[in-house]
Each structure stands twice: as structure tokens, then as C-alpha cells.
Structure 1
């Protein structure tokens, strides 16, 4: 995905106020629901993209999937940014549970062969990632 395309997508996403859910529907594909509109975030290496489509859903129970549910189900979008001169889209969110308030970020990296989704807190401490890269 090109940097300019990502800037246009960010501008489109700024109209949305709430993340209904983010879930993994295939090994490297996430479904993002914003105000009841669903988008596919394809993080396959060298083929990364964001689009709308209907795809069959697989169920995953990895730690990454539990963190997606915990931090991003019914979360409010505080800000969306594209990191300067990088193909990385970042959502700043706030999720108010019955007894605790979570403020998190999720980074979607569309950087060629090193695509990834990373969940952090507001201090950029990594909580979980789709891919764990040791390099």
C-alpha cells in the first residue's frame, strides 16, 4: 500500500467515532467494524491493503485475538494518524468497561514484507502483536 493511499484512508476513517470490533478472520487478515461498516485489513506480505468484501470467518483463540476483544470491542476512536513518512496507520482508542478504563493504540504496518498489527498502551509499551519478529 502506498503512503498517499494510506493518508486518504486515514482521512476517510476520521468520520467514524467508534470501533465495534476488530477480529482476525484469517491468518493475516483482520476485520475492522467502524460504526457498523466493515472493512478488511489484509496484512499478507507484499499484498497489504484495506478494502470491503465478504470473507469466510475462521475462529482464533491466540493471545493476540483475546487482546483485540479486550481492548477494542466497543472502543471509542480518539484519534487516527499515519506516522510521518511511514506506511503505518495508528488508531488511538479508549474503552470504558464497567470498572476500568483502557486507553490503547493499535498500529497497522503496511511496510512491504514486514506487515504487522501491534497493540500498545498510550506509552507505546507493546501488549501483543500479530507477528513476533526477533530482528
Structure 2
């Protein structure tokens, strides 16, 4: 079932999610670390170019085949990329929220601990409530 989900992911939808993560990092993070947001955008650009190259079926460019090969090889796992982007975005957002709650106790809900649960743990518990609708 999971493999079928990965294979059914739309090319543009999956890569839009990854590019969106990169843009989010560029806009949300501060300092030099925000430039890490360029990595997902560059990955998307490379994958899109490699896909277009492979569809064009040009075999006269050895350099093109070498550069496009790794991207084309992982295309069957396309649905995994948005999932990884989501996990990273949840982790990053949870990091910001925990830092804010430690800095200002007024942000805490009644009975909430300043450290709280990690965002990934919360999402993991939520995911276990019921299986996804297929």
C-alpha cells in the first residue's frame, strides 16, 4: 500500500511540496542558516531538469545521462520526498515553538510543561489514531 502511494504521487505536486519547504526556510529561519532553504529548491530544479531530459530521450549527451541518472533512478520513490519535507517542517516548527515557550511562559496552555512533547512525537501519536483513508 505504501509503495503504491509513493508511485501515485504527482510529479509537480511532490516537488512543489519540497520547493515550498525551501521557500519556507528562506523566509522563516534567521541568519546564515536560512540559506539552507536554497538546497531543496536546487534539488527540485535538478530533478525537474533531469526528468525533462529523460523524457526527451536524448542519448547523445553522456554528461546529461550521468547528471540525470541519479534523479531518474529515485523517481519511483517520488512520494517519499513530500513526506520527508513534512517531517522536517514539523520538526523545525516544533523547535521554534519550544524555544518561544521557554522564553515566554505566557504562551503555555494551562497544565502544559515548558519543554512539552516534541512536534514529531505529537504528529506520530496523531497518525496512530486511525489508518489513512485509501
Which structure has more relative contact order (CA 8 Å, sep 6+)? It is 2
Higher strand content, 1 or 2: 1
TM-score, normalised to structure 1, is: 0.27
Quick check: which has more Rg, 1 or 2?
2
TM-score, normalised to structure 2, is: 0.27
